[in-house]
Amino acid sequence: MLIVMDKKATAEEVQRVVDIIESKGFTARPIPGGDRVSIGILNNEGPVDPALFIGLSGVKDAIPVTRPYKLVSRETKPNDTLIEVGNVIIGNGHLTLIGGPCAIESEAQAMTIAERVKEAGGHIFRGGAYKPRTSPYTFQGMGLAGLKILAKVRDTFDMPVVTEVMDTETFDRVEEYADIVQIGTRNMQNFSLLKRAGQCRRPIMLKRGMSATLDEWLMAAEYIMAGGNPNVILCERGVRTFVRHSRNTLDLSVVPVVQKESHLPIIVDPSHAAGKRDQVIPLSRASVAVGAHGLMVEVHHEPQNALSDGAQSLYPEQFTRLCRDVRRVHDMLKDG
């Protein structure tokens, strides 16, 4: 933390800031500048709250210098985290392809799509049993019945499954059936859920909040790691902007930044970013080209009859083509 004083700050005002810093047990180091004084704060463990200083008379600004996260930081753990789920490895050097419908609608639907995902070379099957829906009047998911269908998909096709958990009440149940437990965009800062996820024995896929900064997202992962679960997969899915030609704006620069700041794997969900089928394939190629460790894509054999998000679901043959394309991009990158 660097405290920047007003040009006209008095010696008393400077001293008051120094006193507050030292009253917290930190070290204050005033830096007389050309036309104003700044005061560095040293020997603090973890970040200092700027609120201690902003608003004090004579203080112009309080600028954080260090990052607030610890366990997720590459400065703490330089090596990439690799996460094993069944015989799938997620993380640096691997390209994990996840496909499936937005929601599990029936056993027949799930099995039909899973077969096509498997054939296309998909590694993991996705499908929602508990669905966060903007409207209380639309399909809310099959619940436990959906989870059982997911288990059947896993057993039949030997593919791990990922599904979303919406609350702590149903967490045990989801944890029992899922290979990877997903925390959705709207729950990225549901801290009670994050704490429960910290005690989960399954890897957590943590989607980025709709308007989450990098720090907020990594701090949400920090909650999970601080709770004892080291296996967090980050998933970029687009952020909300003024743009209207896509549902959200996919933020691909976050991929190399996360990989620099953190050791955790990061995948991309182009389906929710796009909101429209015909943007999904190009954005998938871009995501792999930027260096993401995998993709999560919505696939449906009859999207026009899907109970949710049909407009952004690929046809199975499109998913097949996508898998082929992105594997080629990934191979090319590996060759260097």
Site for its own copies in 136-195 (CB under 8 A): 136-138, 166-169, 186-187, 189-193, 195
Given the rule CB under 8 A, which of 84-92, 148-156, 174-182, 277-285 is the region that contacts its own copies?
A: 277-285
Q: Which is nearer to its own copies, 201 or 245 (CB)?
A: 245
302 by Cβ neighbours in 10 Å (0-12 / 13-18 / 19+) ranks as middle
Express the helix, strand and coil content of the chain in percent, nearest 5 each. Answer: 40, 20, 40
Helices and strands (H, E) in the chain, number of each type: 10, 14
Angle at 119 between CA 267 and CA 103, to 5 degrees: 60
Q: Which is nearer to its own copies, 154 or 272 (CB)?
A: 272
* DSSP letters for 121-154: T--EEE-BSS---SSTTS----THHHHHHHHHHH
CB of 252 to its own copies, least distance (A): 5
Which residues, numbered 24-83, are part of the site for its own copies (CB under 8 A)? 29, 31-34, 36, 38, 40, 42-47, 49-56, 61, 63, 65-66, 68, 70, 75
Of the residues 22, 84, 278, 317, which one makes contact with its own copies according to CB under 8 A: 278
Which residues, numbered 245-274, are part of the site for its own copies (CB under 8 A)? 245-246, 249-257, 260, 273-274
* DSSP letters for 251-283: -TTHHHHHHHHBSS-EEE-HHHHH-SHHHHHHH
The residues that bridge with 236 in the sheet, in sequence order, are 268
Confirm or reject binding of residue 201 to its own copies (CB under 8 A).
Answer: no
Of the residues 22, 172, 228, 328, which one makes contact with its own copies according to CB under 8 A: 328
CB of 298 to its own copies, least distance (A): 11
Site string for its own copies, 89-128 (x = CB under 8 A): ----------------------------------------
CB-based contact 295:288 (threshold 8 Å): yes
